[in-house]
Amino acid sequence: KQEVTQIPAALSVPEGENLVLNCSFTDSAIYNLQWFRQDPGKGLTSLLLIQSSQREQTSGRLNASLDKSSGRSTLYIAASQPGDSATYLCAVANSGGYQKVTFGTGTKLQVIP
Amino acid sequence: NAGVTQTPKFQVLKTGQSMTLQCAQDMNHNSMYWYRQDPGMGLRLIYYSASEGTTDKGEVPNGYNVSRLNKREFSLRLESAAPSQTSVYFCASSPGRLTPQHFGDGTRLSIL
């Protein structure tokens, strides 16, 4: 059974700092990996989707990498801003059907002005 | 664009009552999903619908039923609510298979 772990559970950084969020998974036979952002009281917003054949994806100040062999993905946020404060979740999809998407419990990020 | 719309946003029920959570998407997506989110457990799939007219069980389907009314709408029904069903429920959709990409803002459900 796929297990997805995100450490740390919470992170506080000063504005302007570059930071890395981590996601690890136990089954490397994945179909894709997706990073989401969740603001308090809101749904999830998809940030980046990495297919299993890709090594990384970039969108603006965000860069996500994928290393299947080690079961790890990182989300790099450059020049953090207070508006980046949110919970970030990763979700791993394994081959085999819709029920094979496993979510991590997220990293709650606070960017301090 | 509205995206994925869920109603109601909040609801309090008594044990044994029934209710239906509504979800509609305006992106012409084929696939729709219902998840629940509980503290410390991540999102768990309740039911999904790969296309109009089809539904299938996810990881935690017990106590729930669903209806894919048409391509736009996917409802979740609790027939006899239990305190263990207190949670935040999210509906999601995607154009293709497997991976949810667009989420509603959730329904916060408390069962006393």
Among B42, B90, B98, select the one facing A98 at the smallest CB separation.
B98
Q: CB–CB of B74/B64 below 8 Å?
A: no
Chain A interface includes B4 (CB < 8 A): yes
Give the pairing type, strands B107-111 and B87-94.
Answer: antiparallel
Gap from B18 CA to chain A (nearest CA, Å): 24
Top-ranked range on mean pLDDT: pick from A8-22, A85-99, B42-56 = A8-22
pLDDT > 90: percent of chain B: 82
CA distance B44 to chain A (A): 8
> 3-state class of A50 per DSSP?
strand
Cβ atoms A26, A72 nearer than 8 A: no
Residue B21: its pLDDT value, please? 98
Closest CA relative to residue A62, chosen from A109, A100, A101: A109
CB < 8 Å to B98, chain A: 31-32, 93, 97-98, 100-101
Mutate to test the interface with A, among B43, B56, B97 (most CBs of A within 10 A): B43
Amino acid in the structure at residue A1 = K
Average pLDDT, integer, range A52-57 = 94
Most confident of A26-40, A92-106, B90-104: A26-40
Nearest chain A CA: its distance from B82 CA (Å): 23
- B98 pLDDT band, cuts 50/70/90, is low
Supply the pLDDT for residue A96.
67
Handedness of CA A91, A97, A99, A100 (dihedral sign): negative
> Across all residues in chain A, what is the average pLDDT?
93
Region for A16 from its dihedrals, namely left if φ exceeds 0, alpha if ψ lies in -120 to 50, beta otherwise: left
Across the interface, of B48, B98, B103, the residue whose CB is closest to A44 is: B103
pLDDT value of position A24: 98
Shortest distance between the Cα of A72 and any Cα of chain B, in A, equals 18
DSSP class of residue B73 equals B
Indicate whether A104 pLDDT > 90: yes
In chain B, residues 73-112 whose CB comes closer than 8 Å to chain A: 90, 92, 97-106
